Structure 1
Amino acid sequence: MLKVDNIDVYYGNIQALKSVSLEVNQGEIVTLIGANGAGKSTLLKTISGLLKPRQGNIVYLDQFIAGKQAQAIVKQGISHVPEGRRVFANMTVEENLELGAFLRRDKDGMRKDFEKVYDLFPRLLERRKQLAGTLSGGEQQMLAMGRALMARPKLLLLDEPSMGLAPLLVKTIFRIIQEINEAGTTILLVEQNAHMALSVANRAYVLETGRVVLSGTAAELNASDEVKMAYLGGH
């Protein structure tokens, strides 16, 4: 479904991604794990059109998308839930969700998707007239995910969904990630909580200082001594 082929990405003169390649097949949850500053968010931003690679290709459903405008990429079926949630604080929950469907014109389909989002996140239904800025961190994460789903993506890019959340909420968010995937959305997940990420993913890539240094099934990476030492607290 998605093939990232040898991309180099720079911030000015600083190279953030070095010959990165990865693949995501339809229906999978693929996770990217790695330390802070490894280039994980940069990779998602490059796939979603917020950054342009200096070299290499990105192919999504047989179309070249590297360097395309972000809105064109959303139109093709890729939604991005950014790190730090980035909800529109002075708009209501409902208005945030409407903005997720900005490119759509199918009123009936949108209505159904509102219901789907409220089914996945009942808390958002209770808060739908509330300003997004007044929500808790966990509720804002739910809203950011709901907003992305309103674009009806085929591929969902999730950047650090568990960051800053209480352990109980982290479990809830990961359960919902699995539900979204089971309902037919393919997911590329960036996550510092390697343990949780590997528990839901089919496959995983490890990024270190802008390079892919390991890849395999989630079970293989879970069992790898290297991964255990670096990301799973050594046990």
Structure 2
Amino acid sequence: MAIMLKMDDVNVFYGAIHAIKGINLEVDQGEIVTLIGANGAGKSTTLRTISGLLKPKTGTITFEDKIISGQPAHKIVEFGISQVPEGRRIFANMTVMENLELGAYVRTDKNGIKEDLKRVFKHFPRLAERKKQEAGTLSGGEQQMLAMGRALMSSPRLLLLDEPSMGLAPLLIKEIFEIIKDINKAGTTILLVEQNANMALSIANRAYVLETGKITLSGSAKELSNSEDVRKAYLGG
């Protein structure tokens, strides 16, 4: 499998705080890779650095053999990477449809956009039913679906998901994770940051454990699920 995304000795600082410490990470085309770790371990910072919202101080990030570290966020969307931010961040006073249209703002291929809209509604039938509704009036689960649908409208080859299960009821979490699997099966590579380590490892191919800005463990999702250390720290076992 071709390596799609590679982080090479990436260091990120917030002022004087060394948030990401020499991270090396790879995502192969077609995979679901998950990044697990405690709150404040640097998971969201890692995603924000890939998507261009933060600039690494040193190290390189390569996507499909292009160096993308240091590029502005809108450029990174054009390269084919889209992020679903933590806490959803939808545009509450716009309709569901307007939110989805905004997701396609870098595109000019009208027919492709139409096709992707159909695809989004296939993944999320509830959004189709609520097209004209103001996004702020949706339930938490529907807002999460909208945030994911909006990210898919840029037709990404790599989707970055930041805590998609946050604040959702267990049944909805199951549903969201089924949809993540479907999106992956339909051809989108996924890098998933998730506090619910059990769920994340159940759908991922590979996983990295992040502790205070450093990767301390990596391997197949199965290996990490069976690791004594991971079980104790993250799987409630």
| TM-score (structure 1 length as normaliser) | 0.99
RMSD in angstroms over aligned alpha carbons? 0.4
Q: What is the aligned counterpart of 2:30 among 27, 30, 35?
A: 27
Measure how far apart 1:159 and its partner are: 0.2
Identity of aligned residues (%): 70
Alignment of 1:47 with 2:50, yes or no, is: yes
Q: What is the aligned counterpart of 1:146 among 141, 144, 149?
A: 149
CA distance in 1, matches of 2:116, 2:189: 17
Deviations 1:169-221 (A, max 9, x none): 00000000000000000000000000000000000000000000000000000
* 1:134 matched residue in structure 2: 137
Measure how far apart 1:139 and its partner are: 0.3
SS in structure 2 opposite 1:184?
coil
> After TM superposition, which residue ranges in structure 1, 4 or more long, deviate above 4 angstroms?
none
Q: What is the aligned counterpart of 1:164 among 164, 167, 181?
A: 167
Q: What is the aligned counterpart of 1:17 among 16, 20, 23?
A: 20
* 2:80 matched residue in structure 1: 77
SS in structure 2 opposite 1:20?
strand
CA distance in 2, matches of 1:21, 1:189: 16
Measure how far apart 1:98 and its partner are: 0.2
Residues 46-195 of structure 1 mapped to structure 2, 5 A cutoff: 46-195=49-198
Alignment of 1:204 with 2:207, yes or no, is: yes
Q: Which amino acid aligns with 1:230?
A: A
Alignment of 1:227 with 2:230, yes or no, is: yes
Q: Which amino acid aligns with 2:6?
A: K
Measure how far apart 1:41 and its partner are: 0.1
SS in structure 1 opposite 2:119?
helix
Measure how far apart 1:149 and its partner are: 0.2
Q: Which runs of 5+ in 2 are unaligned?
A: none
Deviations 1:19-69 (A, max 9, x none): 011000000000000000000000000000000000100000000000100
CA distance in 1, matches of 2:157, 2:121: 19
